Amino acid sequence: MLDRRQFLVTSAAAAAAALVPGRLLAAVQRNSTPLPSLSTWPSVRAQFALEPGYLHFSSFFLVSHPRPVRDAIEAYRRALDRDPYLEIEQRMLPTNPNNIQLQIRGDLAGYLGVQRDEIAITPNTTTSLALAYAGLPLKRGDEILTTTHDHFSHHESIRFAVEKAGATWRRVPLYDRGAETSVAQVVERLRKAIRPTTRAIGATWVHSSTGVRLPIRAMADVVREANRGRNAKDHILFIVDGVHGLGAVEEPVGELGCDFFAAGTHKWMFAPRGTGILWGRADRWPRLRPTIPSFYSLPAWEAWFKNETPSHPTNAYDMSPGGFIAYEHQWAMGAAFKFHETIGRARVAGRIRELNDRCKAGLAAMRKVTLHTPRDPQLSAGVVSFEVAGVSPEEVVKRLLERKIVASTTPYHVSYARLAPSLVNDPREVDAALKAVGEIAAA
């Protein structure tokens, strides 16, 4: 972490900052409310200031901040508005136990099941993916392997990286029909697709197109097998877009087996809008090269002050983008992770599974409705994709909205209608959404 004061020891501003230890923390504590009881699902739902009168089944798209997160953002904003310069100098730059960047990572590390210093903090999934792929040491003749199921941001991040390096990329389908996906099929197709020139594999944990949840650990085993006998510099790196799994399923990120994990935290995790992570295994970070200058890497700043090129191995702090941002949002990330932990990881995952199983069963039983998401909860999470015969996905969503049900379409070449039951919903609301779909199908 950066301690700029060692370079500015004669600075009066730095001296002033040293006289205000804990100012921000104290200000936040004064302006924060205690975490509410979250022992019942109505009490959890009550934390969200969603428009009443509507049933919200698209909360995974961009979060409504729960009250503890709103309070944390507001507390940090007030503190920054009072003393923006001193708060930044004291809380972000020095390497001391109260450093806010270290505290954020500490708040996230336990939930993710990883080490604090393996986490890079980013604005969103797109930035995380771009940083990972742009950082790969690709050369002409190298290949990135990915799937046909990934999002625009994932594919474009790969395309930019290979075009710059003169490398190539391939897309392969891991399944033909989402509802019929199996672990064996995914694993076998991945194994057959890997070539000697493959240097990275990109995949998405939960597909926002079909709702399929890939067996990441089983896929990681395939990557490990492929790496046996390879030189270390030719090892395949497994990069996962995990945004629709993080906060929706129980598996900790550190147990998935991938090398890098990119995710925005402003979806299922309920963290402030404009926040995300890029996690990487400690022994994998040195394989990447930074793209955006970081404000959080002491070795990089030391080299710059000496007019030298940094020679240290890349780490998560090097990969955390610098530049001034909405600090009150980034600093409040920990409040969202504590919110999840207070409810309970297993309890959250169980509730989402319960509501989604109910939704999938109801859709699967309807005439003229095709469910595209696997019924197996091990191969799905919080997104349910379906289509109604003779009615376009856009028209389905329009007719649902007329009934005050907020749904969405999948933004892909082949589009479906989409419902995503989450912690802001209950079984009664799921049944109401199913009834509305049934009416649309029968019209």
Per DSSP, the residues of 123-146 read SSHHHHHHHHHHTS---TT-EEEE
pLDDT at position 14: 32
Among the ranges given (186-195, 244-253, 290-299, 393-402), the one the predictor scored with the smallest mean pLDDT: 290-299
First-residue to last-residue Cα distance in the chain: 61
Q: Which structural domains are found in the chain, ordered by start?
A: 106-341 (3.40.640.10), 344-442 (3.90.1150.10)
Flag whether pLDDT at 129 surpasses 80: yes
pLDDT at position 290: 97
DSSP-derived secondary structure letter, 229:
T
pLDDT at position 210: 97
| Side-chain-facing half-sphere of 70: CA atoms under 13 Å | 10
Averaged pLDDT, 187-211: 98
Among the ranges given (7-21, 181-195, 369-383), the one the predictor scored with the smallest mean pLDDT: 7-21
With residue 361 as reference, give the H or E element that holds it: helix 345-364
pLDDT tens sequence across 413-437: 999 999 999 999 999 999 999 999 9
Residue in this structure with the two tokens 């089983």, named with its chain if needed = 218
pLDDT tens sequence across 59-87: 999 999 999 999 999 999 999 999 898 88
As to burial, measured by CB atoms within 10 angstroms (0-12 exposed, 13-18 middle, 19+ buried), residue 105 is buried
pLDDT at position 16: 27
How far from 181 is each of 99, 176, 219, 222, CA to CA, in Å? 46, 8, 14, 18
| Side-chain-facing half-sphere of 335: CA atoms under 13 Å | 31
In angstroms, the CA 284 to CA 280 distance is: 6
Q: In what order do the strands lie in the sheet with 408-409?
A: 369-371, 384-388, 417-419, 408-409
Residue whose C-alpha is closest to residue 224's, from 261, 251, 187: 187
Residue in this structure with the two tokens 């944390």, named with its chain if needed = 72
pLDDT at position 87: 82
**Percent above pLDDT 70 for the chain:** 91
Question: Which residue type sits at 185?
Answer: Q
Q: Please give the model's pTM, rounded to 2 decimal places.
A: 0.93
Is the alpha carbon torsion for 418, 178, 239, 382 positive or negative? Answer: positive
pLDDT tens sequence across 303-352: 999 999 999 999 999 999 999 999 999 999 999 999 999 999 999 999 99
23-31 and 84-91 helices, crossing angle to 10°:
110
